[in-house]
Amino acid sequence: MKGKYLFLALIGTSFGQTAQEKAELDLKLAQQQLQSLESEIIREERQLVQAVESIDDQVIAQHKSLTKLLRDEDNVIGRQRELDNELARRKGEFEYTLSSLRSYGASVKNRINPAEKQGFGAKIEEKRKMADASGDDLIGEIRNRLLILGMSAERLVDASGGQRFSGSAVGKGNVIKEGQFALAGPLGYFAADDGSLAGFTAFSAEGIDFPSIASVDDGVEAITQLTKSGSALVPVDASMGKAIQVERTKKSVGDYVKGGGLVGYGIMGLGLVALLIALFKFLEVSRFPIPSRKEINLILDDLLSHRTEDAQGKASDLKGLGGEMVGTGVQYFCDKRRILEDALLEKLGSIQPRLERFLPFLALVAAAAPMMGLLGTVLGIMKTFAMMSAVGTGDSKAFSAGISEALITTAMGLIVAIPVIVVHGMLKSFAKAKFGQAEGVALALLNGTTEIDAAPDEDSSDEVDDVDETDLVTA
């Protein structure tokens, strides 16, 4: 038992020595590895420190570069701001210039003499339309508008010394005339080629290319010479023809008649004929001989006293249709009543047409004169619209003048018709009163037969059919 324990002790001792040696060996190996690792750590640490130092140098360099870039950015931002401000100023100047050119191009046509609208004005309008059609092409628009400005400058140079050119103008009655213009500053003169018109050029409204001419009575030859040769002593109107136009609005009766044209002359002719007929009818009716009641009573006394020859002699002394009617009454006084009535009615039938003749013509004139005036107005308005289609509708003055002239014939028709209507009514009443006097004479002769002391004969039954006295009265 003791030997067993001893053996185990020996084995344990041997095993313990071996483990110690192994541990010491492991320790040495571990120390060697530690030393190797420490050396490696030191070496890598040195590399890392060098790398960190290099990175720090790069960071410092990058920071300097960033600082420089930030400084440059601030400079660029400031420069950009200056450029933006400069661009805004340039843009404002450009828009102001473009707006001024647009405004000038739109108004230059109205600033020139009306006579220039046909030539220079048409060229300006063409360039303005081209500029307006440029759209987003600002360069093209500026180019066209600068052309307008250049053309205007050239026109000022030409106008400073006066200029002459051919063209059309609107004269009296809205008639377009071809002729020659002569311009001297703001003053303009025109002379028609046919010599029918000469005067100052008046301003025309927008849309009218042909100027209205304020014609003159004195200085026609001088203006014609100026337009042809360029040199003459001509009258000057500082109002550009407006003073003449205002004076021309004051028309005389002859001017109104002339303004009515052929229709106006026709209306005045009808009025004159109606006036002559009215005077003739007044004299005719007033002098129409109707026997007086006293003369009829004397003749009736002779007839009732059977002095037929004396009655016939007195009746023959009476004049006119009235005397003929009395003579007829004397002739058939002693015959049957119906025969006397028929004879007197026949004479009355010839008196009435004589008293009323030409009166229907006066009524016709009274009805036709306004119609003729309306015809003249329609023709005048047609003429005015024809002129508007040729020169435009912007000139309201010319349009109003044309309508005014067109209405002259209507006024003339009414001026003629109204007095003729009044005169016709008065003459008709006058003739009716005169015819009433003739009827009174006929009734006096007819009633005188009732006093004849004669016995009724076998034909007295005809008296039953006597016509009532009121039947003899006509309207």
8 Å CB contact between 180 and 189:
no
Mean pLDDT is lowest, of 14-28, 44-58, 117-131, 390-404, for: 390-404
Q: What pLDDT shows up at residue 281?
A: 87
Taking residues 277-298, report their average pLDDT: 83
In angstroms, the CA 242 to CA 237 distance is 8
b vs e for 98-135, b when ≥16 Cβ sit within 10 Å of the residue's Cβ?
A: eeebbebbeebbeebbbbbbbebbeebbebbebbeeee
Instruction: Pick from 84-98, 217-231, 318-332 the range whose average pLDDT is largest.
Output: 84-98
* pLDDT band, very low/low/confident/very high, at 395 (cuts 50, 70, 90): low
Structure-token match 């119609």, residue found: 371
Q: What pLDDT shows up at residue 120?
A: 79
The pTM of the full predicted model, rounded to 2 decimals, is 0.46
In angstroms, the CA 397 to CA 176 distance is 16
Q: What pLDDT shows up at residue 422?
A: 92
Q: What pLDDT shows up at residue 421?
A: 92
Taking residues 251-258, report their average pLDDT: 67
Q: What pLDDT shows up at residue 453?
A: 47
- What is the DSSP annotation of 169-189? EE-GGG-EEEEEEEEETTEEE
**Is pLDDT at 458 greater than 60 in this prediction?**
no
Helices 261-286 and 359-391 meet at what angle, rounded to 10?
Answer: 170
8 Å CB contact between 184 and 116:
no
* Dihedral, 293, 298, 300, 306 alpha carbons, nearest 10: -170
**Is pLDDT at 383 greater than 60 in this prediction?**
yes
Enclosing H/E stretch for 167: strand 163-170
8 Å CB contact between 348 and 439:
yes
pLDDT digit string, tens, across residues 126-137: 888 888 888 778
Taking residues 246-268, report their average pLDDT: 71
In angstroms, the CA 310 to CA 291 distance is 16
Q: How far is CA 41 from CA 27, 36, 47, 55, 174, in A?
A: 20, 9, 10, 20, 118
pLDDT digit string, tens, across residues 25-44: 888 888 888 888 888 888 88
pLDDT digit string, tens, across residues 84-138: 999 899 888 888 888 888 888 777 777 777 777 777 788 888 888 888 888 778 7
User: What would the two tokens of residue 204 be?
Assistant: 């025309």
What single-letter DSSP state applies at residue 318?
Answer: S
8 Å CB contact between 263 and 409:
yes
Closest CA to 408 of 246, 185, 255: 255
Contacts of 401 (CB under 8 A, 6+ apart): 174
User: What would the two tokens of residue 281 be?
Assistant: 């009818």
* pLDDT band, very low/low/confident/very high, at 233 (cuts 50, 70, 90): confident
Mean pLDDT is lowest, of 295-299, 355-359, 375-379, for: 295-299
The burial class, CB within 10 Å (0-12 / 13-18 / 19+), for 303 is buried
Residues across the chain: 475
Question: What are the φ/ψ torsions at residue 212 (nearest 5 degrees)?
Answer: -80, 145
Structure-token match 């025969």, residue found: 339
Amino acid occupying residue 57: D
In angstroms, the CA 406 to CA 387 distance is 13
What single-letter DSSP state applies at residue 288?
Answer: -
> What residue ranges do the domains of the chain occupy?
128-250, 266-472
Contacts of 230 (CB under 8 A, 6+ apart): 162, 164, 182
In angstroms, the CA 427 to CA 433 distance is 10
